[in-house]
Copies of this chain bind each other. A is one copy, B any other.
């Protein structure tokens, strides 16, 4: 499923702020055919790993392929589910523990659809999008994150 349209980048430098998310919700209030929104937020956990605490994750990506995959996921979700709109944002660079690195937002006239669609999209992102996360510990050592 190749598409020749220019693909908008999903990536944002640094954490996704709560103001950005609130503002994105606000912008949907003019779309009065929407009855249900469902939002997924991925937040960086301060995991304890063998006595060391994760302070941040440094995200990198194979950006061209990742944006293509995000685009395929988007097209496929619109095909499968009756969605009014869908937005995906992912961080690149440093995101501190407690900050948000993934924001997925789906809207539909009816609620059943948004639950199915959101889980489908988030699982597809985790499985198919080449994003890499370096977990930086408080002592500045690191390890590489793996999605489970």
Contact = CB atoms under 8 A, between A and B. Distances in A.
A38 B40 contact: yes
A45 interface: yes
A25 interface: yes
Interface residues of A, number: 38
Q: Is the interface of A mostly helix, strand, loop or mixed?
A: mixed
Contact of A36 (B29, B31, B40): B40
A32 B97 contact: yes
Interface string A18-58: 11011101101111111111111111111000000000000
14 contacts: A18-B22, A18-B26, A28-B98, A31-B98, A32-B44, A33-B45, A33-B46, A36-B43, A37-B39, A37-B43, A42-B111, A115-B115, A115-B118, A115-B122
A99 interface: yes
Given A23-B18, A97-B32, A41 B43 contact: no
B31 A42 contact: no
B28 A25 contact: no
